[in-house]
Structure 1
Amino acid sequence: MPLPFLTADRAFDTTDPVALPFDDHDEWRRPYRPGSWRVGAAALALLLASFVLLAAMIIAAAGTFGGAVATLGVAALVIVGALRMLRMGAWVSRAGVRRVSFFSTRTVPWAKVTSLRTVQQPVRWLGLPRTVQGQALVLDRPAGERLLLLSDHDADFLSRVEAFDRAADTVEAWNAEYGTAPAATR
């Protein structure tokens, strides 16, 4: 059985440092593995959903079908939330770069990227309102709009500085390959 979430690990085992790590550049891919904080939160949400599904089964066995359907709906919302949490992050393809957040998705074509660089700035810690000083991969658009793609204190890179550097370098390599503007150096 193929395990597609392991392809990110194998993608960085290449001996050619210039090559982009994926064979099919038209498919949207995350250039890094999801972090342990993100996977752990999703696993806890799925564990909660299993208990809610068990409660729905017990409620249905007791004969209260309206309550069972409502409880089943709550479990479905928790499962959808956990799956959406796992999809969050930066995705790249030949078409551009995509920033997936919990409630929205923004896609920027490579032709609209004026610069892509790693900067030192205050970043949100695990997506919470608290900010700390850290690194962020920032994408600039022609109208002066900035889009924060990755930070070293989000759920994917907290305590994984090397993984953040590798992911930022990979996104910059995609920009250098398909973007019209040259990628900025650090």
Structure 2
Amino acid sequence: MDETWTRPYTPGPGRWLVIAWEAAALAFLAWVTIRQFELSGHGVKLVACTLAALWVLGAYRILQMGAYVGAAGLRLHGLLRSRTLSWHDITHVRLHRATHRMGPFEIESGMTVVIDRRDGSTINTELWAKGVDFHARPSLFRAVYQELRSRHREAQNA
């Protein structure tokens, strides 16, 4: 599948908040580590450089996360891995109302886009109506969902 992949939406500003939050958390981790182990000199540099490199890699992946479409299929970039599916391998692109149970309570977490595959498995996407990309833009979430469905439909009819 050599082709150009495009994300049918622009990332939301909430991603930058997540990246800033992670920078603050890693800075705090570095500070605590240096104090706890009474590091100095090269130890401080090693901890700082390691956590800075980890932050850069994480920030890059956060910025790349999402669903990308192409003529041949759908590419899903997650935080730790990416996967590419041909349109032929997808049976349905559908919405799923996600809920979580905590004891006797059921907490609704909003709508997500789920991919049903021909082999019977399902794949969760990073497309979440209440996520950082769509929380303040619910109409964009619906538009992206419709774009995925129409691309899938076109591929099935071709």
Same-fold call, TM > 0.5? yes
Q: With structure 2 as the length reference, what TM-score do the two structures score?
A: 0.73
SS across alignment from 1:114: strand
Residue 144 of structure 2 corresponds to residue 144 of structure 1: no
Q: 1:154 to 1:141 in 2, by over 3 A?
A: same
Q: Distance in 1 between matches of 2:98 and 2:149?
A: 21
Deviation at 1:43, TM superposition (A): 3.8
1:93 to 70, 78, 81: 70
SS across alignment from 1:79: helix
Q: Distance in 2 between matches of 1:46 and 1:176?
A: 41
Q: Distance in 2 between matches of 1:77 and 1:33?
A: 25
Q: Distance in 2 between matches of 1:105 and 1:123?
A: 24
User: Which has more strand, going by share of residues?
Assistant: 2
1:161 aligned partner: 138
- Provide the aligned length of Structure 1 versus Structure 2: 141
Point out 4+ residue stretches in structure 1 off by more than 6 angstroms: none
SS across alignment from 2:135: coil
Consecutive unaligned residues of structure 2, counting only runs of 5 or more, are 32-39, 101-105
Deviation at 1:148, TM superposition (A): 2.4
Residue 108 of structure 2 corresponds to residue 132 of structure 1: yes
Deviation at 1:95, TM superposition (A): 2.6
Consecutive unaligned residues of structure 1, counting only runs of 5 or more, are 1-24, 56-62, 125-129
1:174 to 143, 151, 158: 151
Residue 19 of structure 2 corresponds to residue 42 of structure 1: yes
Percentage of identical aligned residues: 28
Deviations 1:127-161 (A, max 9, x none): xxx95253222211112111222221222112321
**8 Å Cα contact 1:113/1:141 also seen in 2:** yes
**8 Å Cα contact 1:91/1:99 also seen in 2:** yes
1:127 aligned partner: none
